[in-house]
Structures are given as structure tokens and as C-alpha cells.
Amino acid sequence: TNAFRIKEAIESVYSEKGVVILFDLGSALMNAELAIEMLEKTDHIAIADAPLVEGAYIAAVEAGLGKSLDEIVRACEQAKQMVKVARS
């Protein structure tokens, strides 16, 4: 959850298609936000509030289907609701 490593990871995969960041802890969220602030280009980067494993799987599938960054983030975040329902 090191902000500098997150920044490097974003830069290593960045493209105009976008980058979705998933996190597992509150401190990881804060460091992801800090990493984004350190970048020169911040467009096409989004943080999804989603379960890590389920969100990563959904993001990969949605990206493979050619969905937009916003559509991918929405799908990831919907997974949070599905996990809550499954656990209740």
C-alpha cells in the first residue's frame, strides 16, 4: 500500500483505455488517492469501491468485453452489493 509503488504500478499499465484501482484497506485507499495526486496524467484513472477479488474478476471480464472505464467501475461497485446479499 505504498503510494510510490502504487504510482509506479499505475504508470506501468496506464493507457487511454483507463486504469481501475481496487483496494483492500482504508490506508490503501488513502495511498491510492495520494498516488493519483502525484501523477501528471490523472484522466482515465478511477478507484472502485469493490471487494478486491470479486472486483478484480469483474473488472477483467468487463474490460475484455470492451466496456468503458465508467461501466467497469460501476460493475465492480455493484459486486459489493452482491457480496453483502450473499453473506446475509
Ordered structural domains, the chain, with CATH: 3-87 (3.40.50.510)
> What confidence tens digit (pLDDT) does each residue in 59-88 have?
999 999 999 999 999 999 998 888 777 777
Asked if residues 46 and 55 have their Cβ atoms less than 8 Å apart, the reply is no
Kindly report the pTM of this predicted structure: 0.86
Q: How confident is the model at residue 57 (pLDDT cuts 50, 70, 90)?
A: very high
Asked if residues 62 and 71 have their Cβ atoms less than 8 Å apart, the reply is yes
pLDDT of residue 74: 96
Tell me how far apart the alpha carbons of residues 67 and 88 are, in angstroms, rounded to a whole number. Answer: 30
Q: How many CB atoms lie within 10 A of CB 10?
A: 19
